[in-house]
Amino acid sequence: MLSFNICRVRKVHKSQFDPDKHYYHFHDDGTPYETPVLVENVLSPEECNDICNGLLHEVGKEIVDLQHKFVEEELEDDIGRNLQTEIIKCRLEDAFSYMMESEHGDSFFCFSEGILNEHQHLNPRHAKECLFQGCDVSSLDSDVFKRDLFDFFPHDVKPTDCLVISGMGSSSTLHRDPFLWTGTSICLEGTKVWRFIAPPGALSTSVKGDVIESGVSFVDQILDAYRLESAAWGDYNLSSGWQSNFSLYEVRDESVPSAEELSYMEEEDSAKKLKRIETISSNLQNLQPSSDLPETYSGGEKVTIVSVVQKPGDLLVIPAYWWHQTYALEPSIAIASQRGGLKRDAKRIFNHVLETTKQGNEKIPSYFQKKNLNGVTPKDVVDDLFALL
């Protein structure tokens, strides 16, 4: 019997979302931390459909890398880590077709960065920014202190949004993001199962020191984490995120319905279908983690897995330090993005870039050291960062 701690990500409607209440938190001793939050109904069904149709008609001919994972015949009885992987280059419109043929154990997954760069009208960035800036679209850039740091990165090194299309049975790698930024993902079609590993201390009620930053090292250790050197952005090599070969979805129980079965449920009762997926996502017997994934840390504390199901129109906010992985019970389309807020993300991003480029974080500006950001803007932070580089 699996003995992980299990809990669910908090959900809040977009009309009620307040990042200072639902995303940012403080422990009793004043230590800041963040937890994932699912913001519901950020986009309407009509807006989701319009974006999906626009993707097909405007970028459908673009060439993308499609990841095909399959089980070799002689390994049929042992799926898990024996999945083989091949990369197929094809047009995006063909990738959509592959997604409809995807199966558990023979799946297709596409993670395409930069494809939206020349088609920003298809990118629901404004919906994300309005949540964090507390404004409507017409006044999006009115408060310079709430702007996204990445807006001011040089064009050739600015992180790009990513189109993610997943066929039934596909999953992302188990990873945590580069830059220690705040990640976001907005679902446009289908549903996505998400699981997170909470850094030790993130869910505690009484802590000392920066337990989130220090605690994630314990997660890195049990996951045998490694970092991929990135060829992105020329000589800067800024990305370098963290990955693991473990999976939070290694074995699928036979009771888990297929995409076709879920489609029938949708026709009969959409609420019942969603409840079924929610149950699957939080039941580790339905989708089992790697059998050798440690269930406790060296000090005896149990590993906590946090789950949520994302439906069309929902935006998921993903904190720094939280390992995460997705699984598709049915085909889905999403746009993954990131942002850097001034008060909570900027110092981490600054330190990460200096560490990754081997500059040393002793060069961090005095306003971070003194924790006094009065009058400092996101543009000031980025200008200072690239002056050092």
What is the rounded average pLDDT for all residues in the chain? 88
Q: What percent of the chain has pLDDT over 70?
A: 89
Once rounded to an integer, what is the mean pLDDT over residues 287-293? 94
Read off the pLDDT of residues 43-68 as tens digits, 9 standing for 90 and up.
999 999 999 999 999 999 999 999 99
Return the SS3 of 364. Answer: coil
Report the alpha-carbon distance of residue 290 to residue 81 in Å, rounded.
8
List, in sequence order, every residue forming a beta bridge with 304; answer none if it has no partner.
5
Reduce the secondary structure of 26-53 to three states and give it as a string.
Answer: ECCCCCEEECCEEEECCCCHHHHHHHHH
- Are 330 and 259 within 8 A, CB to CB? yes
The pLDDT of residue 167 is above 90: yes
Read off the pLDDT of residues 179-231 as tens digits, 9 standing for 90 and up.
889 999 999 999 999 999 999 877 654 444 444 555 788 899 999 999 877 65
Q: What percent of the chain has pLDDT over 90?
A: 63
Read off the pLDDT of residues 66-76 as tens digits, 9 standing for 90 and up.
999 988 765 44
Could you tell me where the DSSP H helices lie in 183-284?
A: 211-222, 259-268, 270-282
Integer CA distances (angstroms), 376 to 153, 343, 373, in order: 16, 10, 5
pTM for this model (two decimals): 0.91
List, in sequence order, every residue forming a beta bridge with 84; answer none if it has no partner.
70
Concatenated DSSP letters of 66-106: EEEEEE-GGGTT--GGGEEEEEEEEEHHHHHHHHHH-BTTE
Domains defined along the chain, listed by start? 5-388 (2.60.120.650)
Residues in CB range of 240: below 8 A, 6 or more apart = 178, 227, 228, 229, 230, 356
Residue 129 is encoded by which pair of tokens?
């920014």
- Torsion sign over Cα 213, 215, 220, 223: negative
The confidence band for 141, taking pLDDT boundaries of 50, 70 and 90, is low
DSSP one-letter code for 291: T
Report the alpha-carbon distance of residue 246 to residue 288 in Å, rounded.
11
The confidence band for 299, taking pLDDT boundaries of 50, 70 and 90, is confident
Residue/partner pairs of 298-302 with CB below 8 Å, 24 or more apart: 298/218, 298/221, 301/200, 302/3, 302/4, 302/5
Report the alpha-carbon distance of residue 75 to residue 356 in Å, rounded.
39
Task: Say if strands 304-310 and 192-197 run parallel, antiparallel, or are unpaired.
Answer: antiparallel
Report the alpha-carbon distance of residue 234 to residue 138 in Å, rounded.
35
Read off the pLDDT of residues 273-283 as tens digits, 9 standing for 90 and up.
999 999 999 99
